[in-house]
Amino acid sequence: MRTLFLHRHRHDALAPSARLKLRLFAERSAAHLKRWALVYVALAALALWFHAHYAFGLNASPSLPHRLFLIHKGEMPGRGDFVAFRWAGGGPYPAGVTFIKVLAGIPGDEVTRDAQGFHVNGVAVGVPKPVSRQGQALEPGPTGRIPEGRYYVQAGHPDSLDSRYRLTGWIHASQIIGRARALF
């Protein structure tokens, strides 16, 4: 019977010094929570706000000189800025993967292709390759005037999967996450 009694009343079975330590711990914990509650709430609110407006992006390929980016969601990049967008799908990547490239052409710009490669408004932006590193044929991307709601993206690396290729083409405005800023 004594075992049952100890099981049902563990707190009573504690030595007086242990009960005191337990009570002090509980009081200190409550005081700590009261003192720091506002800080914890503020940190949680800040984290929620950050997540709503920003994201981090990683560039896993050598297509850009930077690896880590801070993406400002909803901020429209300008020509020459880094742009973060969702991959439409196809090729080696599933739909929705975040890509980061340089915004090289905006609606109304003229994209041409000749023996020297692709040009946006007469400025060279890249030379297309006939095959990928894996040996798959690569079809050149579109040329002509970039329509409203479409954008030409590129990276300086020869193996970059960008608007030089039909697989990427001109990205749609709905794919754009926001402007990306290189961190390192």
Question: Domain holding 172: CATH number?
Answer: 2.10.109.10
Among the listed residues 136, 117, 112, 141, the one whose alpha carbon sits nearest the alpha carbon of residue 127: 117
Same structural domain for residues 27 and 82? no
Share of the chain above pLDDT 90, in %: 71
Cβ-Cβ contacts under 8 Å for 168 (sequence gap 6 or more): 141, 153, 161, 162
Same structural domain for residues 35 and 119? no
Same structural domain for residues 96 and 44? no
Same structural domain for residues 162 and 101? yes
Q: How many domains are contained in the chain? A: 2
Under the banding of pLDDT at 50, 70 and 90, the label for residue 1 is very low
Same structural domain for residues 79 and 128? yes
Same structural domain for residues 169 and 109? yes
Same structural domain for residues 29 and 76? no
> How does pLDDT run across 124-141, given as a tens digit for each residue?
999 999 998 888 899 999
Domain span at residue 83 reads 59-182
Instruction: Provide the 10 A C-beta neighbour count for residue 38.
Output: 9
Q: What is the pTM assigned to this prediction? A: 0.80
Same structural domain for residues 76 and 93? yes
> How does pLDDT run across 24-79, given as a tens digit for each residue?
888 888 888 888 888 889 999 999 999 999 999 999 888 999 999 999 999 999 99
Tokens of 64: 């850009």
Same structural domain for residues 14 and 95? no
Same structural domain for residues 94 and 48? no
Same structural domain for residues 126 and 160? yes
Same structural domain for residues 16 and 102? no
- Whole-number Å distance between alpha carbons of 169 and 154: 10
Instruction: Give pLDDT, residue 13.
Output: 63
